[in-house]
Amino acid sequence: MVPELPPGGVVTEAACLSCGSDQLEVVLSLGKMPLANALLVAEQLTQPEPRYPLDLAFCRSCALVQITEVVPPEELFGEYAYFSSYSSTMLSHAESIVGRLLVERSLGPGSLAMEIASNDGYLLQNYVAAGVPVLGIEPARNIAPAAEARGVTTVCDFFGLELAEEFRERGQLADVLHANNVMAHVPDLNGVLRGIARVLSPGGVAVVETPYVRDLVERLEFDTIYHEHLSYYSLTSLDRAFRRNGLSVVGVERIPIHGGSLRVFAEAGDAPPAGEVARLLAEERDLGMDRLDYFLGFAARVDDLRERLRDLLAGLKSQGHRIAAYGAAAKGATLLNACEIGAETIDFVADRSEYKQGRFMPGVHLPVVAPSRLLEDAPDDVLLLTWNFADEILEQQAAYRARGGRFVIPVPEPRIV
């Protein structure tokens, strides 16, 4: 049971978000951190900035990796700084899976495609273009209108069992339901999964994408840990949570998006694991991902990476280099604050999102500017905070690189390209 949140308050978890067990073991502590997507305006720079403990824990009972603090969702997502359509990679990724499902599921005008946390309609717009009715659920008040402008019917609310029952009563059942990068964000995990089970049509499928905790550990992706990301999944922990709430994982794929993710296909009912699902579950057991030992030593490896990155940047500064950063994303806020990299090292952070430009990074207060500043100011090196979109960004910044500009990619090994 998820604890009831006091108004405007933060709850320190005593129980697992998935199974309710109290067998949580902390495997990494990043100290007190600001909210990673809470970009500041100039007037806020002199005001106290909230910081919350950021500790990563493993549940011995169900194997879910999770943080131990729950910030109220309204504080995190009522207004949101991330618009998916600013990423060409995300647009291409969404178009690809929709095109595939249109064929595999024989979707048409009599179908319904639904998405939880549908953002600005970046994915559902592909169904609209194919003549398939859609319904997006997006809680961010500043983002939902952008989806509507794309012709994506959007309910501005948080998805859960109650909302799912309302859809069911109205006959709005999903033939395909997408949940991309949302399962990590929900404090009421069981309520969301029960809602998915209730809102699927007979034979409907849920397509869930979420970062894979195996890649996080093996590739030292510690900057993907922040307060919005409550949970970090293996297939084992996903499978156990789904089964507890009336869903069965009937397919799974490892995909490269966001530094390594799982894409699972789930249906209502109780089907035994088979095929690739059974194979990957067995592989995780062999690796020990259902036991604490797998995660021990992660903190020491992260500390070593942070030190090597700081040393690399300090060495560049000592040579007289001017350094900027690229990508005012949540992972960038975690990396900068966890590594204590601020204005003494970085001049500014460039980002394509006009919504973010003119604001300041949480904690370190670096200004966010348009990417054109890279050519105008010509810094020697750029720390690539959004390394998960490295290929896209390096291509976009070909002119800057042609002038001798270099990028520092921090994860999994600090290197210059």
Query: Do 247 and 149 fall within a single domain?
Result: yes
Same domain, 265 and 360: no
| Residue 77 in domain | no
Query: If you write DSSP's letter for every residue of 310-350 in order, what string do you get?
Result: HHHHHHHHHTT--EEEE--SHHHHHHHHHTT--TTT-S-EE
Residues 96 and 52 occupy one common structural domain = no
User: Residue 210's beta-bridge partner residues?
Assistant: 262
pLDDT at 4 over 50: no
Q: Are residues 30 and 88 in the same domain?
A: no
When pLDDT is averaged across residues 71-96 and rounded to a whole number, the result is 74
Q: Which domain holds residue 396?
A: 314-416
The pTM is what? 0.90
CB–CB of 71/52 below 8 Å? yes
Residue 6 lies inside a defined structural domain of this protein: no
pLDDT in tens, 117-134: 999 999 999 999 999 999
Instruction: Categorize the per-residue pLDDT at 152 as very low, low, confident or very high, splitting at 50, 70 and 90.
Output: very high
Q: How many structural domains is the chain composed of? A: 3
Alpha-carbon distances of 355 from 82, 129, 415, rounded to whole Å: 9, 26, 30
Predicted pLDDT of residue 3: 35
Tell me the C-alpha to C-alpha distance, in Å, between residue 162 and each of 153, 306, 334, 344, 416. 19, 43, 33, 49, 49
What's the pLDDT at 72?
Answer: 74
pLDDT of residue 156 exceeding 60: yes
What would the mean pLDDT of 264-269 be, rounded to a whole number? Answer: 97
365 Cβ partners below 8 Å, 6+ apart? 40, 45, 342, 343
Whether residue 302 lies inside any domain: the answer is no
pLDDT score at 143: 87
What are the structure tokens assigned to 394, written together? 């390096």
Which of the four pLDDT bands, split at 50, 70 and 90, describes residue 258? confident
Q: Report pLDDT for 80.
A: 55
Indicate whether 380 belongs to any domain: yes
What pLDDT shows up at residue 9? 42
Q: What is the pLDDT of residue 79?
A: 57
Average pLDDT over residues 63-89: 75
Q: Per residue in 199-234, pLDDT tens?
A: 999 999 999 999 999 999 999 999 999 998 999 999
What is the share, in percent, of the chain residues with pLDDT greater than 90? 86
**Which CATH number does the domain housing residue 212 bear?**
3.40.50.150
Whole-number mean pLDDT of the chain? 93
Tokens of 239: 């499978």
In this structure, the answer to whether residues 108 and 253 fall within a common structural domain is yes
For residue 300, tell me if it sits in a domain.
no
Instruction: Give domain status of residue 381, yes or no.
Output: yes
Q: What is the CATH number for 386?
A: 3.40.50.720
Structure confidence by residue, pLDDT tens digits, 280-338: 999 999 999 999 999 999 999 999 999 999 999 999 999 999 999 999 999 999 999 99
C-alpha to C-alpha distances, 390 to 109, 218, 243, 302, nearest whole angstrom: 38, 19, 36, 21
Mean pLDDT of 149-174: 96
Residues 15-27 pLDDT 10s: 999 999 999 999 9
pLDDT at 77: 59
pLDDT tens digit sequence for 324-383: 999 999 999 999 999 999 999 999 999 999 989 999 999 999 999 999 999 999 999 999
Rounded-to-integer distance, Cα 308 and Cα 301, Å = 11
Q: Got the DSSP string for 146-208?
A: HHHHTT--EE-S--SHHHHHHHHHTT--EEEEEEES-TTT-S-HHHHHHHHHHHEEEEEEEEE
In a shared domain, residues 125 and 52: no
Q: Are residues 90 and 57 in the same domain?
A: no
Q: Is residue 307 included in any domain, yes or no?
A: no
351 and 237 both lie in a single domain: no
- pLDDT for residue 82: 55
pLDDT-based confidence at residue 85 (cuts at 50, 70, 90): low
